[in-house]
Chains A and B, each alone.
Chain A
Amino acid sequence: MDRREFNKMLALGLAAGLSLPGMAPRTQAAYDIARFGNVHLLHMTDAHAQLLPVYYREPQVNIGLHGALNKAPHLVGEALLGAYGIAPKSRESHAFTYLDFVAAAEQYGRVGGFAHLATLVKRIKANRPEALLLDGGDLWQGSATSLWTRGQDMVDASKLLGIDIMTGHWEFTLGTDRVLEIVEEDLDGHIEFLAHNIKDLDFGDPIFPGHTIREMNGVPVAIIGQAFPYTPIANPGYLTEGWTFGIQERELQNKIDAVRAEGAQVVVLLSHNGADTDIKLASRVTGLDAILGGHTHDAIPRAIEVKNPQGMTLVTNAGSNGKFLGVLDFDVRDGKIKDWSYQLLPVFADMLPADKGMAQLITDIRAPYETQLNEVLATTEGLLYRRGNFNGSFDQLICNALIDELDADLSLSPGFRWGTTVLPGDSITMEDLMSQVAITYPAATLTEMKGDFLKVVLEDVADNLFNPDPYYQQGGDMVRVGGLDYSIAPMADAGNRINAMALAGQDIDPSRTYKVAGWASVQQVEGEPVWDVVARWLRAKKTIDTLEVNQPQVMGISDNAGLAI
């Protein structure tokens, strides 16, 4: 049985109990976490609809600047291992870093998968029956089946998984009507959807409840939901017409004060702000015991203790794609938190037998779509991944396909952080492609753009990534470019970061018009869905050589623990 067959069996939940020679010892005991304290919160985030186990390569470039310099989450590779005392080449090293990715992926297998996650949740809950399972959003988007079922597959799976409370971001790209339909009809009585920072644009009335108070072992625990504050900016505004978002720090402070006044002894923000924004927020807002964060897909092994004028707030971020489960325990006595414990557990599919009920649900969800999902489009000779500040090889593939298929001079692809990884030698299926592009605004476009406007575009995105103030960042990565060389100075002021733009050795002429291919426009545009464009290109190519990834020249920073090139 080769690795691919084995993985297929894992996916089907058949591998439980299998023992393969040469594999690492199956130390399931690693998941037996002793009960601590009396308030227990399990946290997952940014699953991006990955129902089956996946490969997901953590970033090699995740630059932190200013106050975030060389601190979590801006530590990659060896720097991360050193900071957290993780042994090189260990399972944990594979979970938290990109190091030796291909060899480690072959050794340790896939991560996540709802059937395996379900087993882990049950195991953690075995000695914490009262625990709440919280999801930080980006749960209903990111796969073919989630797109084709308009989120229904994930709604059904998350109800079966036992998620108690959630907030959102990409959920909203299903459109307000669909989101409200799910919340009112499917989630009612099962999952509380919280977002204190989404209001009606006209009157400022809340769209969703902002918080909930649950009693756990006699301790009133308040959970406040913070949806992604920049949804109508980072994603098409027309999909959330009539709703306004924002960080809403003052309103949050009022909310915290109000739930404290109601008697909450533990107050937690379930946040989709992104790690840097959460760290800043934690330093300014008082009365929060923890921020359980997501959005930036940062797998931070330990909770960050952030001081504020009246105490300390724990900030966590629980990675993405179902790869991790956070376990936060508080020991509350006489109304006060005496101690706490946090662990971020990597979900190794081969160490957690598939939960039968969840495996069956996943099989049922996929059954009508198996033919489309399993279509082999091509084979890749190199590793295909997305995550990284500037580019990834799967984005390069998309950029190359766009240039060829749309006959463009150059191409742009959004700096999303979701999207799974395909190992060298593996086939690229339609499902793999969809895990990179499954969005509700997929039109591929060819735009005529002057050279000077191209610079404006790159500068705009660069400022969303490298603005010194996290409240002005949006939490995505740099727009990916196909065909274009450039340099970037992250520390420079807005508008002055991008230089040396060139196409095939020729400097970009500010006044010349270029044909620029792209997709995922936030404007309402017409165009063939990007998956059809890329699938056509892949079918014709059959084999994809190891791709040379367009990386900009990074200027003006050195000794940065978030940059390993």
Chain B
Amino acid sequence: MKVEPVGGMARRKFLRVGALIATAVALPAKLWAAVTKPDAAFAATDLNATFAALGQTPTESAGIIFTTPDIAENGAVVPIKIEVDESVLPGVSRLYVMVEKNPNPMAAMFSVVEGSKPYIETRVKVAQTCNLYAVAENKEGFFMASKETKVTLGGCGG
């Protein structure tokens, strides 16, 4: 389990995703294999290599509702939200967040404990204007939604 960048996350916001993390920590040991971190995907330096490390290029799905700001208020802590419409995409076991143009696109992976709702809110660092990807994994494979977030120098508005 990896959540990046925890350091930049306001403490109270951290507590909000804490419930989800706590469920992961409380897993019985025999389930830990299921949440093993995919190191190669985290180490990959471009999006295609990240998908390759996961084993599959995800298919676009309307079952993933991915919310990111159109323009980031602060590229260092960009709030994102992933919701899954379980009538379209049932049995999601993992959610991934990728930032296309970051040095390592894979920003975070979340394990969804069976019976819990696949829903996360967190913050990621976005180095420059690019697409962000929300990827959901279930028994059928990998599915995704993407959205561009612009990172700007700011000023000059109005």
Contact = CB atoms under 8 A, between A and B. Distances in A.
A416 B69 CA distance: 23
Interface in B42-89: 67, 69-74, 79
Given A169-B158, A417-B158, A418-B158, A457 B67 contact: no
Contacts of B74: 232, 237
A117 interface: no
A474 B156 contact: yes
A474 B12 contact: no
B73 A245 contact: yes
Interface size class of B (residues with CB under 8 A): 20 to 34
A471 interface: yes
B150 interface: yes
Contacts of B22: none
Nearest to A251: B67
Contacts of A237: 73-74, 154
A114 interface: no
Interface string A135-169: 00010000000000000000000000000000001
Given A202-B10, A202-B12, A414 B155 contact: yes
A113 B74 CA distance: 38
Contact of B158 (A228, A460, A521): A228
B70 A415 contact: no
Contact of A521 (B13, B69, B155): B155
A476 B158 contact: yes
B72 to A, nearest CB: 8
A237 B74 CA distance: 9
A521 B13 CA distance: 29
Contacts, number: 87
A147 B60 CA distance: 51
B129 interface: yes
B114 to A, nearest CB: 28
B115 interface: no
B152 interface: yes
A244 B158 contact: no
Interface in A243-295: 244-247, 250, 295
A233 B79 contact: no
A169 B155 CA distance: 13
Interface in A196-231: 201-203, 228-231
Nearest to B153: A460
A460 B70 contact: no
Nearest to A170: B158
Interface of B, secondary structure class, is loop
Among A169, A246, A295, the most chain B Cβ lie within 10 Å of the Cβ of: A246
Contacts of B72: 233
A460 B152 contact: yes
Interface in A288-336: 295
B157 interface: yes
Contacts of A521: 155
A295 B153 contact: no
Contacts of B67: 250
Given A460-B153, A464-B152, A494-B129, A233 B73 contact: yes
Given A460-B152, A494-B129, A233 B70 contact: no
A414 B129 contact: no
Nearest to A233: B154
Main secondary structure of the interface of A (DSSP, over half): loop
Interface string B17-57: 00000000000000000000000000000000000000000
A362 interface: no
B158 A522 contact: no
A145 B37 CA distance: 60
A245 B67 CA distance: 14
Contacts of A245: 73
Contact of A471 (B70, B73, B153, B158): B70
Contact of A472 (B10, B71, B79): B71
Contacts of A456: 153
A202 B70 contact: no
A521 B155 CA distance: 7
A234 B69 contact: no
A475 interface: yes
A461 interface: yes
Nearest to B149: A472
Contact of A476 (B71, B73, B157): B157
Contact of B156 (A246, A295, A461, A467): A461
A456 B153 CA distance: 9
Given A244-B79, A472-B150, A414 B156 contact: yes
Contacts of B10: 201-202
A235 B158 contact: yes
Interface string B121-156: 000000001000000000000000000101011111
Contacts of A232: 73-74
Contacts of A347: none
Contacts of A250: 67
A520 interface: yes
Interface of B: 10, 12-13, 16, 67, 69-74, 79, 129, 148, 150, 152-158
12 contacts: A169-B158, A229-B70, A230-B157, A231-B157, A232-B73, A247-B70, A415-B156, A416-B158, A418-B158, A457-B153, A469-B70, A472-B150
Given A244-B73, A475-B158, 9 more contacts: A228-B157, A231-B157, A416-B158, A461-B153, A461-B155, A474-B156, A474-B157, A474-B158, A520-B155
Sort A-B residue pairs by CB-CB distance and give the 9 closest, nearest first: A234-B157, A474-B157, A476-B157, A476-B156, A471-B70, A202-B12, A414-B156, A522-B155, A232-B73
